[in-house]
Amino acid sequence: MKSPFVPFPRDIENTPVFKNDALLRIFTWCMYRATFREIWVSVVIGRGTADVHLRPGQFIFGRNAAAIELQMSASTVWQRMQKLESLGILNINSNRHYSIVTVVNLATCDDGSEKSDSQGGSQGEKPAAKPAAKPAAKQAKKSSKKSAAIPDSANDDFTKFWAAYPRREKKVATEKIFLKLAGDGTLPPIDVLLAAISTRRATPDWTRDKGQYIPLPTSWLNDRRWDDEISGNGHNNGAAKQSQSSLFDKANAAWEAANN
């Protein structure tokens, strides 16, 4: 059975971390995330998966996913993680998809629950023996939402998207959708998004009545509107179909009201 407690170093009060609330919060989160035994975890990378070997004191880190959990900006999380690394408390080993963070000297923490923790992991991870290919694939599907690796570039890409999109409403909700799509691999490259926005800015659907028919950015992303075709007259075919359907519904409702 997994222990309900997280080991903590007894001498933490003698470190700069203890005197800084922001750093202490990040360090506590790292201690919670770190595994206390040797394990393999499946990580979603784009549309594929990878089995990553973690040793005691390590965990998979992505700044954008961490920002959502900690309710901080991605840049703030990364700066504080780097500060902990500069103090010799963490080691951060990064590649283009994710980082492996190691809590230094984790073995010196007195948790008093070695036997209890040996039966479980910090995040429901698999035992140290590397899993067979098929079970790993099944496990990756079950945990794809939790372990999806959001590219580090997604935060900067969203800033570019938000600056380019002409209707700036519901920024927080839009960012969540943007990062989710970036994490599951369905979002096209930022250059494709910016080109789609640039093309549509000049269409009648987006310029009519001072742009009041421009869709909300949340709807535009959720409905994958960057794939909409632009007809020869400059109209957005997706928007045109939606408009025609709306007019038909109104006409049908008026006819029913007149005949009832």
Q: Which residues contact 126 (CB under 8 A, 6 or more apart)?
A: 39, 40, 41, 42, 139
For residue 17, report the phi and psi dihedrals to the nearest 5 degrees.
Answer: -60, -40
Which 8-state DSSP code applies to residue 188? P
pLDDT reported for residue 215: 92
Reading the block at residue 247, the tokens are 């007019």
Indicate the range of 24-28, 132-136, 202-206 predicted with least confidence.
132-136
Indicate the range of 84-98, 137-151, 166-180, 186-200 predicted with least confidence.
137-151
Given pLDDT bands bounded at 50, 70 and 90, which one contains residue 47?
confident
pLDDT tens-place string over residues 171-182: 999 999 999 888
Q: Which residue has the higher pLDDT, 245 or 106?
A: 106
pLDDT reported for residue 186: 85
Nearest to 165 by CA among 200, 212, 210, 204: 200
Strand order in the sheet with 90-94: 58-61, 99-103, 90-94
Nearest to 111 by CA among 51, 39, 37, 185: 37
Q: Cβ distance 64 to 150 under 8 Å?
A: yes
CA dist 177 to 47, 193, 213, 251, Å? 18, 14, 21, 34
pLDDT reported for residue 249: 56
pLDDT reported for residue 122: 40
Q: Which residue has the higher pLDDT, 1 or 233?
A: 233
pLDDT above 90 coverage of the chain, percent: 26
The chain-wide mean pLDDT, for the chain, equals 77
Category of 205 on φ-ψ map: left (φ > 0), alpha (ψ -120 to 50) or beta? alpha
Indicate the pTM of the whole model.
0.44
What distance in Å separates the CA atoms of residue 62 and residue 13, rounded to the nearest whole number?
A: 28
pLDDT tens-place string over residues 105-164: 765 554 444 443 433 334 444 555 555 555 544 554 554 444 456 777 888 899 999 999
pLDDT tens-place string over residues 70-80: 988 888 999 99
pLDDT reported for residue 6: 67
CA dist 233 to 28, 230, 236, 244, 250, Å? 58, 8, 9, 16, 25
pLDDT reported for residue 195: 92
Flag whether pLDDT at 23 surpasses 80. yes
Reading the block at residue 155, the tokens are 């935060």
